[in-house]
Amino acid sequence: MTTITILLSIALNGSASELPGDCCEFPILIESNVTTYNTTGLTTSEYDLFSECSLMGILQSDIWFEYIAPEDGVVAVTTCDQSSFDTSLIVYESNLLGCDDLEYLACSGDAPGDDDCQLYHSAADFSVTEGRTYLIRVGGWVEDSFGPGTLTIKFDDQTTTTYCPADITEDRQIDGQDLTILLGEWGGSDPIADLNDDGLVDGEDLTQLLGEWGPCPIQGSWEVLVNSPVAPYLHHDDIAVIGDTIWICNVSGQIFKSLDAGETWEQVADKPGTSFRTIDFIDELRGVVGNLGPGSWVGHTTDVTPLYMTDDGGRSWNKVPTESIEGDLPDGICGIDWVDENTIHGAGRYAGKAYFVTSTDGGATWTTRDLTQDFVTFVDTWFENPLHGYITGTNRNGRASLVETLDGGLTWNTRITNQSGHYWKMGFANDSFGYAVCSGGTDGDKWVRTTDGGTTWNEVTFIDNFHANGIGFLNDDVGWIGGYPAHTLQTSNGGLTWEPIQIDLIYGDVINKFLKVDESTMYAVGNRVYRYANDDAGLRRARQAESFRNDLCSVRAITRGETTTITYNVPEDGHVRMNIFIRGSLIEDRPVDRFQLAGSYTIEWPTPKGSPELFVSIEVGDHRKWTRFEPAPLID
């Protein structure tokens, strides 16, 4: 910040606060990697709260920091501190006019849960240019969120890629060329060859290089299919891909189709009262979709038909007649797998009875099996062939269960179980490596895997306080877990470690399903549709060039005893839908579902006694926002 800018600010606005960092004009200069601070007694800035992140607070008693980039690179910033408070942060670039010309760069509401941090800390990264000035603004989630904290800065000059540090030549191969460079720098401190960043190129660096020998695990990157439909409620639910044709469905009764690998989309089904949860196609014409049915976690569902089919590529969908179903009519279907020309297997439902459904004549007739004597929840299905496959769910003891059949569903055996609420999505990356993710419960920070084709399974911890939904692996090393909060976890070492990435910077990822289509390509469906593929840019974060401002839409819920006050802003005239839900997207209520004019609104909602942590979302047009309920500020 220049002296002229400071004097001009004082002349225009009066004297500045005596507390360091209390205003934009007098930030605290970051001179080391770790800076301690205390926001007690600081004022709350009147700057715009615009940000692209979910779960952003009000930046109560915010504090300002100044960072001058030493060179080009990427800066990672975090407020991780076990003894600190619930934070949010926004990063700006300071241009010629200083605080009167701030350029928004990045933000963070709630970062992934970490046992070493407070319950809700913030973390973001942003690109910097040598010599430029950047302002980091940290504040509290609500009025009583203030106090001591720690700001940690890490600078990365990007001379190596995050997931392939031994690739010195950046050609995605760790080979003799990289070894030659490392040996040439032996005994020195060149950061290019100092792979472990200890200031010396030595045997430890050589060991790391040799251990990573071969192709880099991550060869591609994720991109947002920017024209894909925005989820009407948190996330779309399932995806099917054949060549360049893509279908997605959601619990609002909609199905969309793309014929050009996601460039353009057409809505091919709109059935209010139906909750499409799972979809699959055997070819470009014949497909099947499962409906959750009434009484599930989606309260607006009235359609009792569990299955629909199409023979024209999804342009029309026909109910599977009840007379063609032998056995009890299932409450709903959560997972479906069209295995071969004649065989279709499905299961469901979550928040309902546990049924297995199967067809051996391409959907002309069906047989159901009621397995509720042993199981209370079925979620996902995966079949290798008509006889061998798996279902994820929960058993009668309330334990997550992964069950296997070797005879097409006549008998089932539990392969692994634990204390999570249920196993959610599952799959196989190849013949030997399979996986499923836990959701909720004591073991909600686990995922399970097999490396011998399903003969044995074991569980592995990923990251605490991350509510998982989707999981997918491209191969034995590279994989992802999606869920809440709005980012995605990525691994390049078979799940030994995970790092957060965010694909969709406007709406957040909230990925429910990953789908591998070949050895280098994955699709994912969440708030929009995403594709991972090889490209010439290497690992990068997809940043879409959209001018759309989702911050124009806002919602906040303050709980006082038995009543919650919900205030929200409607950015444009349109149909507004508000959902109140708990983790896992279980809908508690839909208090607003009607046309409203643009403007600000307030409603009072009766808070259920003993309810778990609640969230509220609103949608209108292309605008989507969600946040968690806040307790009312304490009054002295």
CATH number of 484's domain: 2.130.10.10
Q: What pLDDT, on the 0 to 100 scale, is given for residue 17?
A: 52
Has residue 161 been placed in a domain?
no
Q: Are residues 129 and 180 in the same domain?
A: no
Q: Are residues 236 and 204 in the same domain?
A: no
- pLDDT of 517 strictly over 60: yes
Q: Are residues 560 and 592 in the same domain?
A: yes
Q: What pLDDT, on the 0 to 100 scale, is given for residue 200?
A: 92
Q: Are residues 425 and 404 in the same domain?
A: yes
- Residue 285: both structure tokens together: 């014409």
Q: What pLDDT, on the 0 to 100 scale, is given for residue 545?
A: 43
Q: Which of 254, 164, 144, 178 is nearest to 218 (CA)?
A: 164
Q: Are residues 423 and 508 in the same domain?
A: yes
Q: Are residues 136 and 205 in the same domain?
A: no
**161 within 8 A of 170, measured Cβ to Cβ:** yes
Which one has a higher pLDDT value, 585 or 461?
Answer: 461
Has residue 237 been placed in a domain?
yes
Q: Structural domain of residue 210, as residue ranges?
A: 173-215
Which one has a higher pLDDT value, 293 or 542?
Answer: 293
Q: Are residues 95 and 181 in the same domain?
A: no
* Residue type at position 385: N
Has residue 312 been placed in a domain?
yes
Q: Are residues 13 and 132 in the same domain?
A: yes
- pLDDT of 195 strictly over 90: no
Has residue 269 been placed in a domain?
yes
Q: Are residues 110 and 177 in the same domain?
A: no
Q: What pLDDT, on the 0 to 100 scale, is given for residue 9?
A: 41
Q: Are residues 201 and 252 in the same domain?
A: no
Has residue 369 been placed in a domain?
yes
The tens digit of pLDDT for each residue in 68-88 reads 999 887 788 999 999 999 999
Q: Are residues 10 and 114 in the same domain?
A: yes
pTM: 0.73
The tens digit of pLDDT for each residue in 533-570 reads 875 433 333 334 456 778 788 898 999 889 999 999 99
Has residue 576 been placed in a domain?
yes
DSSP labels, 234-281 = S---EEEEETTEEEEE-TTSEEEEESSTTSS-EEEEE-TT--EEEEEE
- Across 612-623, average pLDDT: 88
526-556 in b/e burial notation, b at 16+ Cβ within 10 A?
A: bbbbbbbbeeeebbeebeeeeeeebbebbbb
- Residue 232: both structure tokens together: 């009407």
* Number of domains the chain contains: 4
Q: Which of 252, 319, 311 is nearest to 286 (CA)?
A: 311
Has residue 7 been placed in a domain?
yes
Q: Are residues 192 and 274 in the same domain?
A: no
CATH at 93: 2.60.120.1050
Q: What is the mean pLDDT of the chain?
A: 88
Sign of CA dihedral 533, 534, 539, 540: negative
